[in-house]
Structure 1
């Protein structure tokens, strides 16, 4: 069956959607790149689209071409691959980024003719193709750790007429053979910048990478490298990407932290758990940057409370629970266990957030410093 959708008309619709999402017209160079690089060439024949229950369902191009083409040219992220976990569950492991997000990141990359760029996370290859159109294929190096994704991306890139150097490698190590780079861009998020990226980025070069904390996955770091090897910049208030595989942590609350023989310290708090783990991304990101390695999860299936906010640390040493009884919104029961008092840490940082005038994500500044074989990051406010 042939779809009635014509790529050119679909592309016009997509450009209009991207402009609406940006709140401004797409810059001419990026508009030309999007027109020259058809998105559908970089999508597999099966896409995984959101269903009404909040999960995913397959959309096969051969079975439902109209729906597949509409998805291909909508300003939405598209899951293109699932990976099965050890417990049998399947989770999204690769996706095609939202086109307006792609445009934002490429704008922030502030590219100039002749510059060399390293892309971390080839994925479908769409990003790499746009970079090739803007800079020339000879100036683009793209890495991905997944060999099957690399093979698919290479086929799509060849079909699009763009053939950058695409390498199957761990993006955390960068790619020294083509270094140094004027620009490094990541299509996965990080919790700390790998040392190799600092070493392979030219002085004055720009790094654009989505940022992740254990508490909140939001924001994109746009930072410039200084002569002393440090990288410094601010978070842009957009972006929520999958975490780089090398930085993922496998810790589960009930499997790794909770035991019957634990005696937690109990108290009460007047700070609502929704104030720190609700819909306020500014508050969440402020906490995530300043309470390292601590994550949270909501639970409505505990006998002791109507709703519980769990907190735990990535090292599986400490946990906390904040309970809402279903009636009072001015007082909440707290239980804390382990060497870290996680709720106390979060409450203190939230108080600092309020005292600072509730700074937006865009006021968060990071300074990345080389330290031995790793890096550390210092956090401040603009």
Structure 2
């Protein structure tokens, strides 16, 4: 089947209907969705996320084309590479390192980007090439540059884009440095989660241009889409967050594995209690209080352990020292707390939650981010209520 015929499949049409009815696909992006199907950019063997089982499953187009296309036309993320390409075989690997994002996430970020015909766009994180092809359909292929850190992924995307007939320029390189050769850009979009936005992206975007990027803290793996407008003098970019997402992280900013035994030793620890409940403190997976606590508790990573016999431990690890804390939530009982090290990390986390509560439990859209040559600051409601992150 020719690449351009994929969009005629009933599943692709139905996906478009679902995305539009759910508000993810803006009407002005509908022509690009129709002309550039995700199925044209997915590999022969892929690992879509199965919602029912909560796992990634191997699907081969040659072995089971019906299931392959069903997932290609579904609003689910699809892993296309494991373990930085060291993985072999059909079963999932250890760590997903390249993927095709959920179509609903893709088009929400493209809506935030607000790219128009003729706009020059830099994409950081080529992946399969689908997002670059959508941008090319919208703005003109000659106006899109996409950069990918993994050579194999870059070469595969370049081949796929050429086969599809979209002459997007694919660069193999580290997108953290941007791509100054083709700057300035009207828009920059990143398709990997970042923990620090480099000022080079601001410098390579024209005044008034937009940067759209999944941003978060090392507190957790979640991200939130930041939509930043570059100031008239080009010396800063600032804007509010638009909603929660979760992306694979930019390789230059991956968090090294936190080794529990390096922090939790047999040394002195303080024992206390808290009247905070599990439901209040954790909420749901994408609840805004998790994001807020991460903004207010720097250099900290937390791990939510599995719940057993009505008890759930949540661990907190300092990233600049060996401080640690654990709060044990237990159904129907007061939570106990253990802390050790130079910091009292649970005290910081509880104070951050209480701050969020006192500020009327702000949702994501009340928070924002500003990036300058001196660093980045988060803020609540207005940039003058900011703190470094």
TM score, norm. by length of structure 1:
0.90
* Deviation, structure 1 residue 7: 4.0
Cα distance in 2 between the residues matched to 1:368 and 1:273: 34
**Quick one: which of 134, 138, 156 aligns to 1:134?**
138
Tell me if the contact between 1:11 and 1:73 (Cα under 8 Å) persists in the aligned partners. yes
Cα distance in 1 between the residues matched to 2:193 and 2:151: 20
Taking a change above 3 Å as real, the CA distance of residues 188 and 342 of structure 1, as seen in their structure-2 partners, is same
Cα distance in 1 between the residues matched to 2:53 and 2:37: 31
Cα distance in 2 between the residues matched to 1:287 and 1:53: 30
* Deviation, structure 1 residue 41: 1.3
2:103 is equivalent to residue 99 of structure 1: yes
Cα distance in 1 between the residues matched to 2:182 and 2:139: 15
Cα distance in 2 between the residues matched to 1:113 and 1:156: 23
Taking a change above 3 Å as real, the CA distance of residues 380 and 6 of structure 1, as seen in their structure-2 partners, is closer
Give every structure 1 segment of 4 or more consecutive aligned residues whose post-TM-superposition deviation is greater than 3 Å: 50-53, 300-303
Alignment of 1:192-203 (within 5 A): 192-203=196-207
Cα distance in 2 between the residues matched to 1:40 and 1:307: 41
Tell me if the contact between 2:49 and 2:76 (Cα under 8 Å) persists in the aligned partners. no
Taking a change above 3 Å as real, the CA distance of residues 114 and 85 of structure 1, as seen in their structure-2 partners, is closer
Secondary structure (helix, strand or coil) at the match of 2:212 reads strand
Cα distance in 2 between the residues matched to 1:21 and 1:184: 26
* Deviation, structure 1 residue 325: 4.2
The size of the alignment, in residue pairs, is 369
Secondary structure (helix, strand or coil) at the match of 2:317 reads strand
* Deviation, structure 1 residue 169: 0.6
* Deviation, structure 1 residue 243: 1.4
Taking a change above 3 Å as real, the CA distance of residues 301 and 355 of structure 1, as seen in their structure-2 partners, is closer
Secondary structure (helix, strand or coil) at the match of 2:83 reads strand
Partner of 1:275: 280
| C-alpha distance after superposition, 1:268-299 (max 9, x if no partner) | 11112442223161111111112122221123
Stretch of structure 1 that moved more, 132-141 or 116-125: 132-141
Partner of 1:179: 183
TM score, norm. by length of structure 2:
0.89
Tell me if the contact between 1:38 and 1:160 (Cα under 8 Å) persists in the aligned partners. no
Tell me if the contact between 1:236 and 1:362 (Cα under 8 Å) persists in the aligned partners. yes
* Deviation, structure 1 residue 127: 0.5
Partner of 1:353: 356
Taking a change above 3 Å as real, the CA distance of residues 19 and 298 of structure 1, as seen in their structure-2 partners, is same
Taking a change above 3 Å as real, the CA distance of residues 342 and 247 of structure 1, as seen in their structure-2 partners, is same
Secondary structure (helix, strand or coil) at the match of 1:79 reads strand
Partner of 2:324: 319
* Deviation, structure 1 residue 228: 4.8
Cα distance in 1 between the residues matched to 2:306 and 2:6: 47
Stretch of structure 1 that moved more, 215-224 or 347-356: 215-224
Partner of 2:237: 231
* Deviation, structure 1 residue 327: 4.0
Secondary structure (helix, strand or coil) at the match of 1:62 reads coil
Unaligned runs of 5+ in 1: none
Secondary structure (helix, strand or coil) at the match of 2:131 reads helix
Partner of 2:168: 164
* Deviation, structure 1 residue 103: 1.3
Unaligned runs of 5+ in 2: 383-389
Taking a change above 3 Å as real, the CA distance of residues 84 and 130 of structure 1, as seen in their structure-2 partners, is closer
Tell me if the contact between 1:251 and 1:314 (Cα under 8 Å) persists in the aligned partners. no
**Quick one: which of 249, 260, 269 aligns to 1:243?**
249
Cα distance in 2 between the residues matched to 1:301 and 1:287: 21
How big is the alpha-carbon RMSD for the aligned residues of Structure 1 and Structure 2?
2.4
Tell me if the contact between 1:290 and 1:379 (Cα under 8 Å) persists in the aligned partners. no
